[in-house]
Structure 1
Amino acid sequence: MSKIKDYKELIRELAELLDKSTLSEIEVEEEDFRIRVAREVPNNVSYNAAAPTIAQAPASTAAPVSAAAAPAQTASPAEHPGAVPAPMVGTTYTAPSPGADPFIKVGDTVKEGETLLIIEAMKVMNQIAAPKSGKVKEIFFADAQPVEFGETLCIIE
């Protein structure tokens, strides 16, 4: 019976940690048990590189970072044929090290396979490569911002 009390206390502690952070889930696994505490993240949460705070607005009204004033968009950035989705959940880094120049900027021309950003997941730095060659039209992430799986990182045309 004391194990159940211990599990309940662990779940409470994990839930409090989840509430006090920007994480969407926490999982603890030991020999013969696994506990996962998660919260639902609304689909309309977007990250704007111009303001490194979470903007609670529908994606269609989020202000993209672009070289010129963007025309009114009728479709979400994820529906754009040049959209680059996040392949994992993690924290984005725009440069290879603090103070270094960013991998990409709006207007840059990139080649397929070139590093666009780094996503840190579980203390592993994952270089995210350009899926195709083209010009960076918009960037939807900022340095040290969390991203969810499938969230649009940038648009390459």
Structure 2
Amino acid sequence: MKIDKNIIKELTDYLNEFNLTEIEYTDKDTKIKVSKSNPTSSNQTVSVAASTPALDTVKSTVVSGTEVKSPIIGTAYLAAEPGGKKFVEVGKKIKKGETVMIVEAMKTMNHVPSTADGIIKEICVEDGQPVEYGQTIIIVE
């Protein structure tokens, strides 16, 4: 496996430019992760991890139940306000159309409705966690 050093340099530059602690790049079967340890120190250490997964080790996960996915990219919130009552909890009954979470995008709070009736089996994201479009956020059984 040959790793392009320019990609590592570019990722390291992004870490410094955007004051990040970690960044990851994936292309086909190559995955490069660059991270800083102890970002408050003046002597910053950058570590690079690269991996190429073997084709026979790729697993597919089977999900039982209905997946509620994020309709947009943003930040997921489990309650309407910090410290407030959560919209859903594992084991709670929910009806189709009921709000399960809020995803904030560009200072707009978007309520995410349940796509099915059922019981909350799993909450797949944490409060304040960034989510991607199409990412599973809740599993309803």
**Smaller-chain TM-score range?**
0.5 to 0.7
2:117 equivalent to 1:133: yes
State yes or no: 1:104 paired with 2:84. Answer: no
- The aligned amino acid for 2:129 is Q
Question: TM-score with structure 2 length normalisation?
Answer: 0.59
AA matched with 1:123: K
C-alpha spacing 1:41/1:113, structure 2 compared with 1 (3 Å):
farther
- 1:16 aligned partner: 17
Unaligned runs of 5+ in 1: 1-11, 25-38, 45-73
Q: Distance in 2 between matches of 1:152 and 1:13?
A: 28
Note the residue ranges of structure 2 that are not aligned, 5 or more in a row.
1-12, 32-58
Counterpart of 2:139 in 1: which secondary structure? strand
Is 2:15–2:21's contact at 8 Å kept on the other side of the alignment?
Answer: no
Change (3 A) 1:148 1:121: same
Deviation beyond 2 Å, 4+ runs, structure 1: 12-16, 21-24, 39-42, 74-77
Partners of 1:148 and 1:21 in 2: CA distance = 19
Which of the two has greater strand per residue?
A: 2
Q: Indicate if the aligned counterparts of 2:14 and 2:20 stay in contact, CA closer than 8 A.
A: no
1:76-102: CA deviations, max 9, x gaps? 26x545111111111000001111110
User: Structure 1 residues 41, 152: closer, same or farther in 2, change over 3 A?
Assistant: farther
User: Superposition RMSD on alpha carbons, in Å?
Assistant: 3.2
TM-score by length of 1: 0.54
Which amino acid counterpart does residue 119 of structure 1 have in structure 2?
V
- 1:103–1:41 distance in 2 versus 1, CA, 3 Å: farther
CA distance in 1, matches of 2:107, 2:22: 16
Q: 1:144 to 1:23 in 2, by over 3 A?
A: farther
Q: 2:70 aligns with which of 86, 90, 96?
A: 86
Query: Measured at CA, do residues 13 and 135 of structure 1 come closer, stay the same or move farther in structure 2, by a change above 3 Å?
Result: closer
Report % sequence identity: 37
Aligned twin of 2:135: 151
Q: Is 1:76–2:61 an aligned residue pair?
A: yes
Q: 1:139 to 1:151 in 2, by over 3 A?
A: same
- The separation in 2 between residues aligned to 1:41 and 1:154, in whole angstroms, is 28
- Equivalenced residue count is 100
Alpha-carbon deviation of 1:156?
0.5
